[in-house]
Amino acid sequence: GAGVSQSPSNKVTEKGKDVELRCDPISGHTALYWYRQRLGQGLEFLIYFQGNSAPDKSGLPSDRFSAERTGESVSTLTIQRTQQEDSAVYLCASSLIPSGGRQETQYFGPGTRLLVL
Amino acid sequence: RKEVEQDPGPFNVPEGATVAFNCTYSNSASQSFFWYRQDCRKEPKLLMSVYSSGNEDGRFTAQLNRASQYISLLIRDSKLSDSATYLCARGDSSYKLIFGSGTRLLVRP
């Protein structure tokens, strides 16, 4: 079946512009996550969606970052007034809803490579 | 101290060698741990989950040492195709993953 898809795959933008990144999770996966990966680093958690609500936004770096999800499906991550330090790969993952305190396997999309000039 | 720490490597080993990586974590309450494999410019893919003392899948063995707060990944009879970055992650609450920076493995002919 189809995996997690993300678009665009690459985005080059100028400092100060807004960007919108899209994630299409695996069908039936109610949980959705956004992570950021800087060059040579591990993944940093940004936000977690359970259905259309986000019970944990603790990883969003600043108020320039926001995310929404609709129809328990597509999610968009928006970065306003981009800065050079926002340059990174933004990865989306989806999973079944975690239950019983146990983690469900998170399946990652291919990511969006963002370069802010 | 980082929450999850890994030796960045690279580990450069010949085909057929056995290689082991360690990953240390700082939160003793963590219940679940994961090894992901990430190829260059690709997304991470789950290699192994560890919920108790360890897990084994073919040539790959993960072992958890809660007393010393580390998890290891052992790869036996390494193949050229094992060359990748191996990311360790611990589960934080029931959904969030906290990742290390990864260990790079190069398997040479």
- How confident is the model over B1-13, as pLDDT tens digits? 678 999 999 999 9
Mutate to test the interface with B, among A106, A112, A113 (most CBs of B within 10 A): A106
Comparing CA positions, the residue from B88, B46, B93, B95 lying closest to residue B71 is B88
A106/B46 CB distance under 8 A:
yes
Tell me how far the alpha carbon of residue B40 is from its chain's centroid.
Answer: 16
* 8 A C-beta contact, residue B89 and residue B4: yes
Q: How many CB atoms lie within 10 A of CB B7?
A: 15
- Give the model's pLDDT for residue A106: 92
Give B54's pLDDT tier (boundaries 50, 70, 90). confident
**Predicted pLDDT of residue A41:** 86
Question: For all residues of chain A together, what is the average pLDDT?
Answer: 94
Distance CA(A98)–CA(A31), nearest Å, equals 8
Per-residue pLDDT for B94 more than 80? no
Segment among A98-102, B11-15, B16-20, B44-48 with least mean pLDDT: A98-102
pLDDT in tens, A43-85: 999 999 999 999 999 999 999 999 999 998 999 999 999 999 9
Chain-wide mean pLDDT for chain B?
92
Beta bridge partners of B37: B45, B86
| B58: pLDDT strictly greater than 80 | yes
Question: How many angstroms separate the CA atoms of A36 and A25, rounded?
Answer: 17
| pLDDT at site A1 | 59
Mutate to test the interface with B, among A30, A43, A46, A50 (most CBs of B within 10 A): A43
